[in-house]
Amino acid sequence: MTSAAVWTNLWNFTAGVDEGAPTSAPVLGPDGNFYGTTDGIYAGTYGTAYKITPKGVLTTIHAFKFTDGATPYALILGLDGNFYGVTRGGGANQKGVIFRMSKAGAVKVLHSFSGYPNDGEIPIGTLAQGNDGTLYGTTYLGGTRKWGTIFKISATGANYKVIHNFDRTLDINDGINPLSGMAIGSDGNLYGTSGGGGKQNSGSLFKITPAGTYTALYSFCAVSGCKDGFYPQTAIVQHTNGKFYGATESGGTTVNGGEFFSLDVGLKPFINIVLLSGKSGSVAQILGQGFNSTTSVKFNGTAATFTIVSDTYLTVKVPTTATTGLVTVTTSGGTLTSFRVFKVVPTITSISPTSGPVNTIVTINGTGFSSDSVIKFGGVKATAFKIVSPTQITAAVPTGGKTGKITVTTAGGVGTSGATFTVTP
């Protein structure tokens, strides 16, 4: 649906065809397509993952087996370009899993929940990912009091840890039974809601640090005379004005139909980049505020050409000499900074020469080169090289170098030469 409320139907889900019953919104992928899940409950399956193009062409890319999870929930796009999510059931212990999925639909289970007393069970909400790649989430049940948990895990599946057990008996302000996952704040902390608990047992808002320091922020009120909403069941999101927004299932000032609320914890306005990686020359989309007075946009300090679409939306061409780092937008009101790093994916446009013996100096031209670049000849790492600029590297063919493609790997990704370099005697 457009901002002018023009509706276009892209797809009608049908049980037995695409397993039907999607219970969460799809997420934008790095290729411009959308990725989502269905729970499969109307088709007798364990759910599916699908890809749908902006024109409405849908492809089922994964059918969940009970061993890799049952009833998947919302996906997030990870910083590494893979998708991450949870299932409410299935897995080794039949209590849900955390999984990683490639855009081709290959699924890997990162953790199978085991439940009370040492682990959570029935994860329902979306995951959140910190700038270091760590994933955070909640479970509806399990933990030391069976009221749910907050957990963290690396994107590889290592270092799983429960960082909070919901327990209203220890602190009446604490929530129970979280339903919606958490949002990563621009301060690096996690913010979320619980479906119950709090002072009135009507749900709560909380903050938790990556290390596990938990703070109850607000208790919703359902008693007579309250004009508050209660039982929050949807994920909260952070607006670029710094505030968080969410909704409750019930309560409010009118007909007990719920409310839309905001939470202000004093975080400053920032900018948000729609997709967090791209090649030089690609167009990045930036959300924020006050953009009508924009005077400059920079990628890790490199000025970029921008187009003001509206006061809250910019499109920007990633500069040829851009490198991985934070993005800034300067307006008449000051400079806004992204709290996420934009990764510039390296490219190799040419190599010269295309053949030679060990120690031959090869000039590699391209974009996105940075000081952390790793250069390989046929998979063998070069030890003698110089980063001349973000667009050029000179490297000596290493001892043991093999005939094959030259690659340059940075924090932004991997660039591969089109031409093959031939190592001669």
Please, is 4 exposed, middle or buried when counting C-beta atoms within 10 Å of its C-beta (0-12, 13-18, 19+)? exposed
Whether 180 and 240 map to the same domain: the answer is: yes
Range with the poorest average pLDDT among 167-176, 180-189, 292-301: 167-176
Half-sphere exposure of 115 (CA within 13 A, CB side): 12
Q: Residues 375, 395: one domain? A: yes
Do 226 and 248 share a structural domain?
yes
Q: Is residue 4 part of a domain?
A: no
- Is residue 128 domain-resident? yes
- Tokens for 193? 């809601």
235 and 134 within one domain: yes
CA gap 168, 155 in Å, rounded? 31
Mean pLDDT of 132-156: 97
Q: What length does the chain have?
A: 425
Judge if pTM exceeds 0.95: no
pLDDT for residue 196 is more than 70: yes
Lowest mean pLDDT among 13-22, 186-195, 257-266, 334-343: 13-22
User: What amino acid is encoded at 106 in this protein?
Assistant: A
51 and 190 within one domain:
yes
In a shared domain, residues 217 and 151: yes
CA angle 148, 78, 46 (to 5 degrees): 60
| Strand, helix or coil for residue 293 | helix
Residue 42: the pLDDT is 62
pLDDT tens per residue, range 400-409: 999 999 999 9
Please tell me whether residues 151 and 203 are part of one structural domain.
yes
In the chain, what percentage of residues exceed pLDDT 90? 85
Domain extent for 284: 272-342
Q: What is the pLDDT of residue 167?
A: 94
Same domain, 302 and 258: no
pLDDT at 256 over 80: no
Q: Is the pLDDT of residue 20 over 70?
A: yes
CATH code of 302's domain: 2.60.40.10
Residue 111 burial (CB count, 10 A): 21
Q: Is residue 352 part of a domain?
A: yes
Q: What is the pLDDT of residue 155?
A: 96
Choose among 30, 10, 8: nearest CA to 22. Answer: 10
User: Do 290 and 239 belong to one domain?
Assistant: no
140 within some domain: yes
Residues near 108 by beta carbon (within 8 Å), at least 6 away in sequence: 99, 100, 101, 157
Residue 326's nearest CA partner among 347, 308, 300 is: 300
Which are the contacts of 326, defined by CB distance < 8 A and separation ≥ 6? 300, 337, 338, 339, 341, 342
pLDDT band of 43, cuts 50, 70, 90 = low
Note whether residue 3 is domain-resident: no
Domain count, the chain: 3
Cα separation values, 4 from 7, 46, 294, 297, Å: 9, 37, 25, 28
Q: How far apart are CA 266 and CA 264, in angstroms?
A: 6
The pLDDT tens digits for 199-225 are 989 999 999 999 999 999 999 987 766
Let me know if residue 222 belongs to a domain.
yes
